[in-house]
């Protein structure tokens, strides 16, 4: 494998990892436990640029990881637990970081998220994240623009968990 192909492969893996870490951070924040919120906050600050433009259908665009964290806390407050599964990441690297070139990539990821309320209602949400990802020498790859597009959702009753 040539050095260029190896650098491209590494960049794509690092970029795709941002979305997977986002899912973990969001589920940590959703617990509303102080230590978990702080762990999620740390991850958000690692994966988003300080002035990232973060948007989802039906909500006002948020600027930066702290604003997005507050939105997530408010939005997921009614749920006893959540699980965000993010897959099918496709990364299109426009430029690898170099001496005089900033790194730039686009990433599309599918979302399948479950949100269960205390009264056993399950809200399933399907969507697609569309991201612009940039690279800096200080922070590495980070999401600079995010748009969550809703495809479908459903609310239904589920059996209580046992054990």
- Tell me what pLDDT residue 1 has: 58
118: pLDDT strictly greater than 90? no
pTM higher than 0.85: yes
53: pLDDT strictly greater than 70? yes
161: pLDDT strictly greater than 90? no
| 5-39 tens-digit pLDDT | 999 999 999 999 999 999 999 999 999 999 999 99
The domain limits of the chain are 3-157
- Tell me what pLDDT residue 10 has: 95
Tell me the pLDDT band of 100, cut-offs 50, 70 and 90. Answer: confident
Q: Which 3-state string (H, E, C) describes the chain?
A: CCHHHHHHHHHHHHHHHHHHHHHHHHHHHHCCCHHHHHHHHHHHHHHEEEEEEEEECCEEEEECHHHHHHHHHHHHCCEEEEEEEEEEEEEEEEECCCCCCCEEEEEEEEEEEEEEECCCEEEEEEEEEEEEEEEECCCEEEEEEEEEEEEEEEEEECCCCCC
CATH class of 3-157: alpha beta
101: pLDDT strictly greater than 90? no
- Tell me what pLDDT residue 65 has: 98
94: pLDDT strictly greater than 80? yes
- Tell me what pLDDT residue 106 has: 98
């Amino acid at each position: 494998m040539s050095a260029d192909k190896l650098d491209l492969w590494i960049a794509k893996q690092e970029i795709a990892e941002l979305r997977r870490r986002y899912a973990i951070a969001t589920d940590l924040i959703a617990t509303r436990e102080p230590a978990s919120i702080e762990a999620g906050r740390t991850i958000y600050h690692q994966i988003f640029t300080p002035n990232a433009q973060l948007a989802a259908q039906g909500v006002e665009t948020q600027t930066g990881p702290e604003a997005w964290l507050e939105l997530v806390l408010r939005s997921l407050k009614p749920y006893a637990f959540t699980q965000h599964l993010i897959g099918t990441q496709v990364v299109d690297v426009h430029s690898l970081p170099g001496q005089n070139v900033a790194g730039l990539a686009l990433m599309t990821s599918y979302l399948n998220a479950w949100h269960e309320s205390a009264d056993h209602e399950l809200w399933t949400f399907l969507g697609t994240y569309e991201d612009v990802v940039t690279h800096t020498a200080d922070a590495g790859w980070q999401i600079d623009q995010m748009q969550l597009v809703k495809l479908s959702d459903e609310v239904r009753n589920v059996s209580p968990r046992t054990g």
